[in-house]
């Protein structure tokens, strides 16, 4: 099981400011410059932003759906929306979280439409990071575990699931998740703790059901 999901968030990123590297500060500065140029009509500048974030945006979207091609389509839609809404972007804030908020909202909008049609496919069947170990004699155990985790995640309410995916699966900091979801860091910490509790309880229920089926 995902080990971070059941461990207490002990430090709560008490010194997140210390985690800011010179590279990240430089990246933010470059983002701000590119956004400003894009807002003045420089499409090449926005193209550079898209190139910088495309892979990570697709990766985040893939956490919510199995289809790689569809994830790429939704990523493209995300960037089109971002370009159209550049005038709404607050330049005093970071571009990345704003972009990921559009990506998450675009993905959930699509999944709600799919759910209404009776076709609910949530989370990648085996996220692209889960590459089988070449020395492993049978990778099926890892794949089955990944699928079990995804089945449990489906039962967690959307607001909590989003925090859990971004924080524990994608490694966003608490401040980044707060920026993406437009909630306070205190709210994110509380939701994360609740989401981990929900996951733990749902996981244990599912394992009991599996054990009972195997015994029966």
What's the CATH number where 184 sits?
1.10.1740.10
Instruction: Show the domain range for 43.
Output: 25-124+138-215
Q: Report how far residue 91's alpha carbon sits from residue 137's, in angstroms, rounded to the nearest whole number.
A: 52
Q: Is 132 a member of any domain?
A: no
Q: Is 130 a member of any domain?
A: no
Per the structure, how many domains does the chain have? 1
Q: Is 165 a member of any domain?
A: yes
Q: Report how far residue 72's alpha carbon sits from residue 61's, in angstroms, rounded to the nearest whole number.
A: 8
Q: Report how far residue 36's alpha carbon sits from residue 4's, in angstroms, rounded to the nearest whole number.
A: 38
Whole-structure pTM value:
0.72
Q: Is 5 a member of any domain?
A: no
The pLDDT score that the predictor gives to residue 109 is 93
38-53 tens-digit pLDDT:
999 999 999 999 999 9
pLDDT by 10s per residue, the chain, length 216 = 554 444 434 343 433 444 344 445 556 668 999 999 999 999 999 999 999 999 999 999 988 887 889 999 999 999 999 999 999 999 889 999 999 999 999 999 998 887 776 654 444 333 344 433 444 444 444 546 667 777 788 888 989 999 999 999 899 999 999 999 999 999 999 999 999 999 999 888 888 887 777 776
83 burial type by CB count under 10 A (0-12 exposed, 13-18 middle, 19+ buried): middle
Q: Report how far residue 18's alpha carbon sits from residue 20's, in angstroms, rounded to the nearest whole number.
A: 5
Q: Report how far residue 166's alpha carbon sits from residue 191's, in angstroms, rounded to the nearest whole number.
A: 12
Q: Is 14 a member of any domain?
A: no
Tell me how many helices (H) and strands (E) the chain has: 9, 0
Q: Between vectors from CA 202 to CA 133 and to CA 104, what angle results, nearest 5°?
A: 70
37-90 tens-digit pLDDT:
999 999 999 999 999 999 999 999 988 887 889 999 999 999 999 999 999 999
Q: Report how far residue 32's alpha carbon sits from residue 25's, in angstroms, rounded to the nearest whole number.
A: 11
Q: Is 94 a member of any domain?
A: yes
Q: Is 18 a member of any domain?
A: no
Q: Say if residues 133 and 139 touch (Cβ distance below 8 Å).
A: yes
Q: Is 74 a member of any domain?
A: yes
């Amino acid at each position: 099981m995902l080990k971070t999901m059941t461990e207490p968030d002990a430090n709560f990123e008490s010194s997140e400011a210390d985690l800011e590297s010179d590279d990240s500060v430089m990246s933010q500065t470059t983002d701000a410059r590119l956004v400003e140029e894009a807002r003045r009509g420089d499409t090449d500048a926005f193209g550079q932003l898209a190139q910088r974030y495309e892979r990570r945006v697709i990766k985040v979207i893939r956490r919510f759906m199995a289809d790689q091609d569809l994830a790429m389509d939704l990523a493209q839609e995300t960037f089109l929306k971002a370009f159209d809404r550049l005038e709404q972007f607050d330049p005093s804030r970071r571009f990345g979280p704003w972009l990921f908020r559009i990506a998450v909202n675009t993905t959930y909008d699509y999944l709600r439409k799919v759910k209404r049609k009776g076709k609910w496919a949530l989370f990648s069947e085996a996220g692209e990071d889960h590459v089988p170990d070449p020395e492993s004699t049978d990778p099926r155990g890892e794949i089955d575990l990944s699928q079990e985790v995804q089945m449990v995640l489906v039962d967690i309410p959307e607001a909590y699931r989003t925090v859990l995916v971004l924080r524990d699966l994608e490694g966003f900091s608490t401040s980044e998740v707060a920026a993406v979801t437009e909630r306070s860091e205190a709210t994110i910490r509380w939701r994360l703790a609740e989401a981990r509790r929900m996951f733990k309880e749902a996981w244990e229920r599912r394992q009991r059901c599996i054990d009972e089926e195997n015994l029966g």
